[in-house]
Structure 1
Amino acid sequence: MRLKILVSIILLLFIIACSSDDASSDPNNPSGDTTCNNGFAGIYPCNNYDLLAHIPLNILAGNGARGNDSWGWTDPSTGKEYVLFCTDRATSFVDISNPINPIFLGSINTQTVDSPWRDVKVYNNYAFIVSEAENHGMQVFDLTRLRDVTNPPQSFTPDAHYSGFGSAHNIVINEVSGYAYAVGSNTFLGGPHFVNIQNPLSPIGEGGFSGYSHDAQVITYNGPDSDYSGREILIGSNENEIVLVDVTDKANPVQITTIGYSNIGYTHQGWFSSDLKYFIVGDELDEINYGNNTRTLVFDFSDLDNPTFHTEIIGNSPAIDHNGYVKNDIYYLANYTAGVKFYDISNIENNSVSTIGYFDTHPESNATDFNGAWNVYPYFESGNIIISDINRGLFIIRKSGT
């Protein structure tokens, strides 16, 4: 009798373990940790980067969901790392302090209706969420609430809401100044909408700059052009050009200059090199319009009044480039159907850029279409890298051997 009871208990524990909603829910990654061997991590093509875990979209947002943007937060008190994962219907939060066994903590539903575009950034332990959903505004969520989740997943509500704009394509935050910039909104002809978030629970609108911006980077400048030292500079990717604006005085933003380039399809998103000498830009439609392989453009921004074209990074497939970020000497590119590419840009001054790895979340093809990797977030100190994939959800990867 005792033996039967013991066997029953063991069987019950086994069933519970097998039914948990963590990385093991992915049939293509049953162990949670899949090293990159012979060019594959499970079914995913790879080079020099391992798969730690994968959480599919149906767990994060339900059946039929579509992924889009993502960001990360590290709790300054505990050192735990969290993923902020956007879908067409919600923003989900995942504890990746154990990256092989991530925990889906819960989500905040869209403020109004679903939308294929949702974006989130972080300032001072708060998440700021916008969407192209009508009348969505900006949701504000205290991320320290994630410390107290004991029975995940939970349904969260925002801690504050800003309604100075309705829809917005994207949000940019300068963590030095404490300002958020909603871009592609229904205000200022789609130009950056300035929001003071120094008190995150009481956002204050402080004007804007007219002219549609699809995405932007805003920094307190300390680069090679001493004329702008200490100024707050916005670099906008504005569909058919790059626009530089001094936004230090919110009541009187001043356009510095604009710059174009050949074969413009859609100037989508860009990011500074670590030394602020170069600005790396992705064009989202040139692969479709002109038939070229993935093309990423590099501009010399040593003189902000007179930026110049420097070089191009040409990929090995016709996949469309989407969001790209720089950490130290590596450029991380979410490359849609080609997954994420990793480029060494340490010798970019001499027009030398080399591929040092990739992880392909879309193994079906490298077709020129809008599927696969939407975003990559490389800024966790642990070296964990997150990928948000439109079709497959959240991937956590890390460089092999680290």
Structure 2
Amino acid sequence: MKNRFTLLFLLILISSKMFSQENVELLSTFKPSNSDYSDIWGYVDENNREYAILGNYNGTYIIDVTDPQNPEQISFIDGPNSIWRDMKVHDKYAYVVTEGFGSGSGMQIIDLSNLPNSAVLVNTYNSTFTSAHNIFIDNGFAYVIGTSGVGGMHILDLSNPTNPVEKSYYTASGYIHDVYVWSDTVVVCAEDNYALVDVTDKSNPVKISQSVNLPGYAHSGWMTEDKKYFYGTDEFNQRDITIFNLEDKTTWEIAVGSWGYPQNTIIHNLFIDGDYAHISYYESGYVILNISDPENPIIAGYYDTYPQSNNSSYNGAWGCYPFLPSGNILVSDIQGGLFVLKFSPDDIKPQIEYSNNYFEVFNSNPVNISAKFIDDSEITESNLFYRTLIDDEIGNWQIIEGITQGKFGVYNFQIPGQEHLTKIEFYFAAKDNMNQVTTLPSGGEGLNPAGSVPPSEFFSYRVVIAGTPVINQLSHNFTDTTIVKGEKINFSVSAEDTTSLPIKYKWIKNDQTVSQKEDYTYSTTFVNPPVTDTVKLIITNDYKSIEKIYIINVEQTTTVKDEPAELKYELTQNYPNPFNPSTQIVFSVPSDGFVELKIYNLMGEEIKNLVSGVKAKGKYSVTFDAENLSSGIYIAQLRAESFIQTIKMNLIK
């Protein structure tokens, strides 16, 4: 699987609202109502007059667009109120479905045979469903999906166009949002995944295969002209487009895991005509991709029907229809109504994809960087420019020519290794066979060499060869001490970093940060009960750290009437717990004697022997270092004379 999934952050050279159109001309707009608009389809009559069939909250508009600069409303077909209204055409009839209820619900059948004079509603089919989300028509059969009930797929025979006959109701894929049909094969878009269904026998649909569940939503899609690739859209702004290779119908090979428009907008519907994918991209408007190389889509044009914003919201372009003989494009905009557009393909400038904006390198080795260079014809020059910044000294730009991997348009560049605390800024440049130059980040120019004039922004990384901080002074070196209530312990530390990185301090008491300075005062009060606290000191340069742990036992204040607390055999719970990679185990013995403290795994196998020998009366703290052990539950067992006690410890890495 050639998986270029969502980790590939697409950086293509179009700023969010710098331009509202490219290679697309606005011919006209038409907004007959202030209500919201939904989907759109086209129709051509026997005299080659062209029409838009436009969904609206209140019904369906039939609009003559033969003169694309002067659209003319012919008819309006009232229907159940709904923000969802979808339609397709068969013969001289339009079939309209909606999720609306009430009077007139069902699939409306509109007679278009009297155009350009009029269009009339001749029937409403509601025998097997009363509402539906979408419809697809192929070879005399209607596939109605997202219907009332389970939401599966109704297959209707349109041999009698005004009186459809249901052949079957397919429910094996659950709720179906949209379909694409060709050669008795259906791609069903079923929320979490896509599936292929064999409908050779219309009365007995059979599922062939199913894709894996994908992030986002299996919303809709279209097959390429050669029927090898399926472009699926998600509408949840996670994958945008996933491209599947379906040459083998039994396996859903992901050719491209995710392709996204550079703006943070939501994709809706996609249609393919020839080498171009035409997309309604909500707030980005109408977008066209050159898919002559189906695994490397290139932006070929766009027109922003909703220039107010570029947000991840459901405004703007709902649908588009790219199949009129004139080549004109029909777009439905939720707020703006009908847009009639003209797409004129032009030679496309090179485009560059790169996935990493800033990173750090922890050695002085050369750094390999890869980027993808795409063009509709030929990349003739691929460059990376870099410069170094050390303290306040900025170096000159150096150029590196890309080395191609031979496929997918990926070029490799190797930047020489640099010394500690060097910042490297870099950008890419590409030139095609038409001498068009693109840089990434955008804004650069220059032909000889391509990209010799840098952009204003750059990618960058920093070389950090960090050492371990060194302690110069530490006020206390004990690991375990006992104080009485009311006493204080003043801690202080001084450290330096031998690699010129800033030092940070952190004092942690029982898993709570209590100071981020060089000093910390541990204090107790007379009212607090006796306790054992753990104080940890962490000294770090953000790359390497050193730690010191103190166990502080706070005992009852002794008075004339007080009697000293008697020690007993005891194994207390380790701290911290869970831990990684080390933890403290505290135990006490009331008299001199032989003591064993061992660590076991859950299989009863001995892992470590921490204590094995004679211990004097007292309380002890032992460090269990699990650096070389895997995550899991471990058992600590204390044995002394006839006393045995165990605790469970949770190592999480």
Identify the match of residue 343 of structure 1 among 262, 286, 289. 289
Alignment of 1:2-401 (within 5 A): 45-56=20-31, 59=32, 62-63=33-34, 65-75=35-45, 77-110=46-79, 113-134=80-101, 136-149=105-118, 157-164=120-127, 165-174=129-138, 176=139, 178-187=140-149, 189-210=150-171, 211-220=174-183, 232-262=184-214, 264-285=215-236, 287=237, 295-311=240-256, 312-348=258-294, 351-400=295-344
Q: Which residue of 1 aligns with 2:645?
A: none
Q: Deviations over 1:251-292 (max 9, x none)?
A: 221100110254x2111001000000000000111x2xxxx5
Q: Which has the higher helix share?
A: 1
Counterparts in 2 of 1:185 and 1:46: CA distance versus 1, 3 Å: same
- What is the one-letter code of the residue matched to 1:213? I
- What is the one-letter code of the residue matched to 1:205? E
Secondary structure, aligned partner of 2:115:
helix
Distance apart, 1:81 and its partner CA: 0.3
Q: Which has the higher strand share?
A: 2
CA contact (8 A) 1:44 1:361 kept: no
CA contact (8 A) 2:60 2:76 kept: yes
Counterparts in 2 of 1:44 and 1:197: CA distance versus 1, 3 Å: farther
- What is the one-letter code of the residue matched to 1:70? I
Counterparts in 2 of 1:355 and 1:247: CA distance versus 1, 3 Å: same
CA contact (8 A) 2:287 2:303 kept: yes
CA contact (8 A) 1:44 1:363 kept: no
TM-score by length of 2: 0.48
Distance apart, 1:157 and its partner CA: 4.2
Q: Deviations over 1:130-173 (max 9, x none)?
A: 10012511111111222324xxxxxx641122112101001111
Unaligned runs of 5+ in 2: 1-13, 347-653
CA contact (8 A) 1:67 1:87 kept: yes
CA contact (8 A) 1:386 1:394 kept: yes
CA contact (8 A) 2:176 2:188 kept: yes
Distance apart, 1:306 and its partner CA: 1.1
The CA RMSD measured in Å over matched residues stands at 1.8
Q: Deviations over 1:38-84 (max 9, x none)?
A: x9xxx98110100000012xx2xx33x11000100011x20000000
CA contact (8 A) 2:88 2:135 kept: yes
- What is the one-letter code of the residue matched to 1:129? V
- What is the one-letter code of the residue matched to 1:218? V
Q: Deviations over 1:271-326 (max 9, x none)?
A: 000000000000111x2xxxx5x721100000111121001322111100000000
CA contact (8 A) 1:94 1:106 kept: yes
Secondary structure, aligned partner of 1:380:
coil
- What is the one-letter code of the residue matched to 2:203? A
Q: Deviations over 1:343-399 (max 9, x none)?
A: 000012xx3211011011000111000000000100011110000000110000002
- What is the one-letter code of the residue matched to 1:168? A
- What is the one-letter code of the residue matched to 1:246? D
Q: In structure 2, what is the Cα distance between the partners aligned to 1:242 and 1:208?
A: 18
Q: In structure 1, what is the Cα distance between the partners aligned to 2:249 and 2:345?
A: 40
- What is the one-letter code of the residue matched to 1:193? H
Q: In structure 2, what is the Cα distance between the partners aligned to 1:401 and 1:352?
A: 17
Secondary structure, aligned partner of 2:20:
strand
Q: In structure 2, what is the Cα distance between the partners aligned to 1:251 and 1:74?
A: 31
Counterparts in 2 of 1:44 and 1:167: CA distance versus 1, 3 Å: farther
Counterparts in 2 of 1:347 and 1:400: CA distance versus 1, 3 Å: closer
CA contact (8 A) 2:111 2:120 kept: no
- What is the one-letter code of the residue matched to 2:240? R
Q: In structure 2, what is the Cα distance between the partners aligned to 1:50 and 1:44?
A: 13
Q: In structure 1, what is the Cα distance between the partners aligned to 2:298 and 2:272?
A: 14
CA contact (8 A) 1:126 1:142 kept: yes
Q: In structure 2, what is the Cα distance between the partners aligned to 1:44 and 1:94?
A: 29
TM-score by length of 1: 0.78
Q: In structure 1, what is the Cα distance between the partners aligned to 2:296 and 2:86?
A: 33
Q: Deviations over 1:1-20 (max 9, x none)?
A: xxxxxxxxxxxxxxxxxxxx
Distance apart, 1:198 and its partner CA: 1.7
Q: In structure 2, what is the Cα distance between the partners aligned to 1:119 and 1:337?
A: 20
Q: In structure 2, what is the Cα distance between the partners aligned to 1:401 and 1:268?
A: 28
Q: Which residue of 2 aligns with 1:152?
A: none
Q: In structure 1, what is the Cα distance between the partners aligned to 2:240 and 2:197?
A: 25
CA contact (8 A) 1:44 1:362 kept: no
- What is the one-letter code of the residue matched to 2:27? L
Stretch of structure 1 that moved more, 352-361 or 130-139: 130-139
Secondary structure, aligned partner of 1:144:
coil
Alignment size in residue pairs = 324
**Higher normalized contact order (CA 8 Å, seq sep 6+, divided by chain length):** 1
